[in-house]
Every structure is written in structure tokens, then in C-alpha cells.
Structure 1
């Protein structure tokens, strides 16, 4: 729904007063798809409305008696804003237009654009309103479709195309939001960064299509861990994944990291590549910020946890390394 005054260049000229107008003007007005109308300001009664209104909305031409009929046949969600706007603009003598949903006789709704011209008498007082109703349903449908496509494209831009989980761009945006939220709320914030062990050797042994399938299975397992609406699991790049866990303390985050390891082990994805164990495993970095300091940054936190991941790699892989420097060994699956 939109309401706005018309610029001077867009103001329509008022039609002739139809009952006294030559037949040619009446024929021209009633042969257009736009619906002409006129309202007497003093009585708030329709002096005229085109017969096209019955074709469009189903209401007979002579059923449009007063402004109340126009108001009653407007969608309840549009009624207050549109009526208040049109009345205020008309009283001020300002030409205007408004979009709203008009009720059809069979109970549906049609999007209407009403273009209104204010007619003044010799004394400068408002005498009448004249205008045209336009069916803009197709235009509204097209606009909504474009908005839907835009939302879909935006979603695609935030989704990893291979795994269907969030991508790095989405994670970066969410991290900044949650970092600032943690600073305001003094709630903890945790990260789990995970990298598959010997993944290059996996691709060498099984091929890249098998590698893609492996990543998809890992993503599915990790998605099940991000249970709350604000939890994020994202593909961080290559074979690296990350979990963003707002309002999650160190103990709870440790349990979730252990669950990551368990779920990956339960997949029993055969590895057997050079230097690797029988099944695919992962190394994890884990960190929790109990209270976000004013001078700290989300990037610093991320880099610190990422450093824990690489510490786990150096320490033998298939393990969890925490930001505090403690490590949890995991037996080879």
C-alpha cells in the first residue's frame, strides 16, 4: 500500500461534470479501462462512477452512493492509512494518489491505484473530488515477484551452493551481529572451528565427486547440532566448517564440540588416504568469550579460535583444542 501527493506535472485534469457533459466525453471516459469518478465534497456522495467498476469489482454502478461505500469496500489493513491520508490531502487541496486493496463482490481483493484531483470553487473552497481508479493488480504481482526473487538471490548469496548451509559471507555478518549483541547483553559467545583431517588425501584417493559428497554429509551432521534459531553452522572455506553459538558458555560449547566429533565418527565415511585413518575425522578449535570487552574485536576472537584449530592439527589431529590451551584427545575412529 502506498499513499503520496501527486507532483504538479502528474495532476490529471478533471473530467467534465458527466450528467451535463456531451455524450462524446461520457463515451470516451467509459471506454477506458480506468474508472472515472466524482464525489461532491459537501455531501460526500458519489456524483458519478464509471460502469467499468462493475466489471472490475462486481459491485453495481448504482451501489456506490457515498464515501462510506468506498471505505467499506477497502481492505481493513489499508483502510485507516488510506482514508486518513486522502481526507487530509483533500482538505488541504492537494492532488494525490493512493494504492489499496478493494473488496470484490465475491470476497476477493483487487489492487487499486486511486488518482485524485481536488476541484475548488470560485471562493477557493473544496467543491468536489474527481479522479480515476486503475487496476494495478498485475503491477503489484510483478513487484512482489521481483521482491521474492531479490530475497531468493540474497539467500543464495548467503548460502554455500554445495552443502546448503551458510557460507563465509553469511557467517561474517552474523558474527558481527552476535558479537555486538554479546557486548550489550554480557552473555557468552562461543565458536567451534572444524577442519577435516587429510582431506586432500581423501580427494586423491576417492576423487573430487566423493569429496563433495563427504562435505555434504559433514554439513548435514553439523546442521543437526545448530538447534536454536540463532545458532549458525557455516562452511568457512574448503573443508573447514564453523559453528557460531550465541549465549553459549564454555561447558555447553565443549559438549557441542564433542558432539561434532561423535556425529562425524558416526558417519563412518571411509578414508584410507595416505597418512589418514580408516574413516574421516576432524580437528577442532574451540573458544568462548564470557564477557566481550569494549576494546576486543570479533576478528581477534575468530583468529584466536582458528589458531586453536591449527594447534590441534599440529598436536596430531582428530582432537579438540580450546582457547585456554587445554586439549581433548580423540581416539582414531
Structure 2
């Protein structure tokens, strides 16, 4: 039999101290709990560097449970106990409280050690610091939430966009139908906006859209009410829980607030300032009513207001 060179000879590792050195040189924190007594028989010294608690302070499972963030404690303890009782290996993510009152995200990987008769003898496992991973995941979720918000926001004016309106309108319609409460719409169009763009340019036109949107959003400012840009120079106010008189008052407020802005419009056929025309309507939806038909009805009222000379509202069919 060919002999191995001296530097390839296997090294005997039968001394417990070798294994302990290997365990305690890793970032993972090893531990062992005796199932019968529910007491720690070992925990790696790395625990003190991570959480600030000395290894000697980890006496029983109560010490472990007490050092779990209160929002995670009950579900984590219940899950781990149930899995251990069934003899199932498992993992648990939770926030562990440090000695200084801060917290660290931990992933506990647990292995159930059985006796020859199949009963649970002990639990052994490793604690891993996954704080950086959790922070990265939270950052991704935050970015996703921000992107979702942006996807429902008109990038030019900052108010809600057509997608948001198309999402919220059917939901508010169904709610009004179920509760018997009124639902009002106000569709708004800037008068002679093409002429405004032609005269002042598109940069100034964009600024005009932003200022009008801000006025309308201010007028609609009420819990549950929505101001959205439908496209171009057209906007809509969705006013759940608002009756016909309230919707008319809201529409007139839009006109008054815009007049106070005094945005010059030298090419308007309705005066020397930027004005709007509005279609207004209210409904208590019934089972046979259709939200699309109602929206079309208010749109027709808008064009009646425009046909009648602009800078006015129409809340009934001619």
C-alpha cells in the first residue's frame, strides 16, 4: 500500500476540545438544551459579542424567551415548542433583544435529538445573525411600496392618476351601493388649454396643469375624497358620502380657489384668467346602475358646461 506524504497524513480529532474550537470559531452560535429540564447545557461564547448577554446568563428556555422581542415572542415560542414536541427539525426568524435594549434579527436552526426509544432527548442548533439580510429585505419592500405609490401617482401634477381612479371608483361605487350612501363625481376640464399651450409654450403649460391640480386637490381635501388626473387637461373629483348639494358646493369651491390663483390666459375665450368647466353628478347606486354609465353622464354634463360658454358647472342634463 502506498503511504501518504507526511503533510497529507490524517490528523486525529477525537478530543472534544477540537470540536469546541471549531464551533466557537464560526459566526454561527451553537447551543444545546436538555429537553427534560428545559435548560441550556451549552451556548457558544459568540452570543455575548452579538447580544451582550454572557453565556452564563443563558440558564433556561425562559431566558431565551424573555430575550425575544415582545412582538415576536409568543408566536416564536409557540411554534418552536410545537415543532419540538413533534420531533420536527425547524427554523425560526425573530428579533432578539440585546443587553442594551436594541434588537438583532436571529435565525434559529433547530435539530431535535431523539433517544433510542424515539422520545425527544435534547435540542441542538445554531443562531445566525440575519440582521443585514432582513434590513435588505425591508429596503426592497420599501422600494416596492414606493414604486406602487408612484404607479398610482401622476408624475407631472402629483395628484392621483387614471389608474388610481379606475381602482378606487369601482370600490367606492360598491360601498355606496351596499350602504345606500350617495356618491358624487365632478369632472373638470381646463378651458381653452390648447390655446394656452400654443401661446405660453408647453413648459408653462405643464406649470399651469400643476397649479390647477393643486387647487383641485385642495378643494377635494377630505378623508376618502380623491382628486385624479384623467389625462391631458381633464381631472376628476371622486366624492363618496357627498350629496348633490355638497358636490355642487365643492365644484364651486374649485372655481373660486382657481380664480384666486389669477393665472393669466391671454388667449382664453372665457376671460383673461385660466378657468375650468365642470360636470357634476350624484347617485345612490342601485343594483341595476352601472358606474361606467354614470361616469359618461357626468362627462356629458361637462361638455354641456363647455357648450354653454365655459367657466361654469353643469349638474343636470339639458
Q: Give the alignment's TM-score, normalised by structure 1.
A: 0.90
Shift of 1:277: 2.1
Partners of 2:21 and 2:182 lie apart in 1 by 73
Match of 2:220 among 202, 226, 230: 226
Shift of 1:228: 1.6
Gaps of 5+ in 2: 1-13
Runs of 4+ in 1 over 6 A off after TM superposition: none
Match of 1:209 among 203, 210, 214: 203
RMSD in angstroms over aligned alpha carbons?
1.2
Pairing 1:10-49 to 2, within 5 Å after superposition:
22-49=16-43
- Given the alignment of the two structures, is residue 325 of structure 1 paired with residue 317 of structure 2, yes or no? yes
Pairing 1:91-240 to 2, within 5 Å after superposition:
91-240=85-234
1:221-263 per-residue CA deviation (whole Å, 9 max, x = no partner) reads: 1111122221000111111111000000001111001111111
Equivalent residue number for residue 312 of structure 1: 305
Q: Secondary structure at the match of 1:280?
A: coil
Equivalent residue number for residue 17 of structure 1: none
Q: Secondary structure at the match of 1:273?
A: coil
Shift of 1:270: 0.6
Pairing 1:242-261 to 2, within 5 Å after superposition:
242-261=236-255
- Given the alignment of the two structures, is residue 67 of structure 1 paired with residue 61 of structure 2, yes or no? yes
Shift of 1:268: 1.0
Shift of 1:295: 2.2
Q: How many residues are aligned here?
A: 305
1:31-84 per-residue CA deviation (whole Å, 9 max, x = no partner) reads: 110100000000001011001000100100111111010011111111110001
Match of 1:268 among 262, 266, 272: 262
Q: Secondary structure at the match of 2:122?
A: strand
Partners of 2:98 and 2:229 lie apart in 1 by 50
* 1:278–1:30 distance in 2 versus 1, CA, 3 Å: same
Partners of 1:107 and 1:255 lie apart in 2 by 54
Equivalent residue number for residue 9 of structure 1: none
Shift of 1:276: 4.7
1:199-232 per-residue CA deviation (whole Å, 9 max, x = no partner) reads: 0000111111111111111111111112222100
Shift of 1:275: 3.6
Shift of 1:325: 2.0
Q: Give the alignment's TM-score, normalised by structure 2.
A: 0.94
Match of 1:303 among 293, 296, 301: 296
Equivalent residue number for residue 79 of structure 1: 73
